[in-house]
Amino acid sequence: MSEETIILKNTFPNFSNELIQEIETNSSFQYFKAGDVIMRTGQYIKSTILILKGQLKIYREGEDGEEFLMYYLQAGQACAISLICSTKDQKSQITAKVVEDVEAVTIPLALMDKWMMNHRSWYEFVIYTYRTRFEEVLEVIDNIAFRAMDERLEFYLKRHAKACGCKEINLSHQEIALELNTSREVVSRLLKKMEQRGLVQLHRNQIELKI
Amino acid sequence: MSEETIILKNTFPNFSNELIQEIETNSSFQYFKAGDVIMRTGQYIKSTILILKGQLKIYREGEDGEEFLMYYLQAGQACAISLICSTKDQKSQITAKVVEDVEAVTIPLALMDKWMMNHRSWYEFVIYTYRTRFEEVLEVIDNIAFRAMDERLEFYLKRHAKACGCKEINLSHQEIALELNTSREVVSRLLKKMEQRGLVQLHRNQIELKI
DNA sequence: TTGCCCGTGTGACAAATGTTACTGTGGCTA
DNA sequence: TAGCCACAGTAACATTTGTCACACGGGCAA
């Protein structure tokens, strides 16, 4: 068994052996560096990506370059949007940017329809992915629709901590502001209030989550 | 050919004859009255619904009973959420309320997995539904994330007009406020401004869209 | 008709958020 | 070391949105 097979099997444990085989023969391993933009709003989707390592940020672009965070993608996950785009040319509705260096498998669109029919484990993966992403997006809607900026910031920090698996968040106030579509000053103000309430501890270029 | 078969065929022209047959033998026709809540947040999904006639409103409930509109469903459409919920018990993330009296076909969940595999036209319908709903939700996110209330109101009115196919919108300011998660006074204020700009004409219980 | 409820309009004010401007501080590099 | 730059803190103010209070008028029912 090749090393790549082992990585694939470990990262996607629910895939059947036949599916793993198919992936190996039909797709290519690719590497992306932090900061790379893998998919851009308006681009045609030509393939889908299975992530083996690293982290991607999926966001919605505003007209003036705002970056509204939707969710993060990590090892064992795939971009929901690109999984379902039928055969005809479909434009991407979102932008995907690499947060941590990414190792991934790229699968041509043409195969996906076939796999949906022939591989039960692929079908289940696609359905599961779509459902969970939809739910995540609904939660995002809740936040912007029903909550004020202080709560949204708290939610954002917790989500970020969860995604990276640690309590130290290495982001500048400016970067956070961009993703919440507000301004740096507002973020600073709210973070300061959170610090007074003991929820976080602020350092230069780092926010330590205390909850 | 029964009358029901004809309605089904007309409303879902892409369904194959075999699929129509299966739907007829396995599902039940149901009727809902305006105001009925068909599916509620937190309820377990036991079946999916194909709409033959009428209109449904899909919205997200806030903690204090706010109703944040996501999209409308009409004849020929189905609730995306309920289409993909695998076999295990899945709770609904949204609430569906009848706007105009609805005639629908109810399909047990158990069949849907089977149909996905056996009926190409069902598979395509599900994929299409999911994709378009996802896109619609993304557009909603754009609106609340990037736009101020005046633009959101304008967007809302246009969407509503499009959904009902006419330029007269029979909603009270209060109802609109609920769906945009703001207050009646704000809606009144903004509508008045829109009237001054000539975009609408205001009547009692009716807003006439001039664009 | 009278009284009442609902929908609407509007002014005044409160609160949240966005904007501008300026300050300070740590770290890097010429 | 001096100068520069990115990041952070904060005051003051503008704007948007939410809230409260009250007035007006149409239509319906007693």
Per-residue pLDDT at A183: 95
Residue B202's DSSP bridge partners are B207
Per-residue pLDDT at B47: 86
Q: What is the pLDDT of residues B3-48, one digit of tens each?
A: 888 999 999 999 999 999 999 999 889 999 988 999 999 888 888 8
The pTM of this model reads 0.91
Q: Which of residues 133-172 of B touch strand C (CB under 7 A)?
A: 172
* Mean pLDDT comparison of A41-50, A93-102, B179-188, highest-scoring range: B179-188
Residues facing strand D, Cβ within 7 A? A 172-174, 184-185, 188-189, 191-192, 202, 204-206; B 148-150, 181-183, 185-186, 204
- Taking the Cβ of residue B70 and every Cβ of chain A, the question of whether any pair is shorter than 8 Å is answered with yes
What single string gives the DSSP state of each residue in B143-210?
HHHH--HHHHHHHHHHHHHHHHTSSEE---HHHHHHHHTS-HHHHHHHHHHHHHTTSEEEETTEEEE-
Does the C-beta of B205 come within 7 A of strand C? yes
* Per-residue burial over A108-124, b = 16 or more CB atoms within 10 Å of its CB, e = otherwise: ebebbbebbeebbbbbe
The Cα A61–Cα A69 span in angstroms is 9
The Cα B7–Cα A148 span in angstroms is 47
Determine, for residues B146 and A94 on separate chains, whether the beta-carbon distance falls below 8 Å. Answer: no
Strand pairing category for A28-32 and A95-108: antiparallel
The Cα A134–Cα A116 span in angstroms is 19
Q: What residues in A contact B123, CB-CB < 8 Å?
A: 116-117
Q: Of residues A130 and A189, which shows the higher confidence score?
A: A189
The mean pLDDT value of chain A amounts to 90
Q: How confident is the model at residue A85 (pLDDT cuts 50, 70, 90)?
A: low
Q: How confident is the model at residue A2 (pLDDT cuts 50, 70, 90)?
A: confident
Nucleotide nearest to B174 (CA to C1'): C7
Q: Are A141 and B141 in contact (CB under 8 A)?
A: yes
Nearest to B84 among A86, A116, A127 (CB): A127
Helix and strand totals (H; E) in chain B: 8, 8
Nearest to B141 among A80, A135, A141 (CB): A141
Amino acid symbol at B151? E
Per-residue pLDDT at B86: 58
Q: How confident is the model at residue B82 (pLDDT cuts 50, 70, 90)?
A: confident
Distance (Å) from CA A202 to C1' C25? 15
Q: How confident is the model at residue A113 (pLDDT cuts 50, 70, 90)?
A: confident
CB atoms within 10 A of CB A26: 15
* Alpha helix (H) residue ranges in chain A: 3-11, 17-26, 80-83, 109-118, 120-146, 149-164, 173-180, 184-196
Residue B169's DSSP bridge partners are B207
The Cα B111–Cα B118 span in angstroms is 10
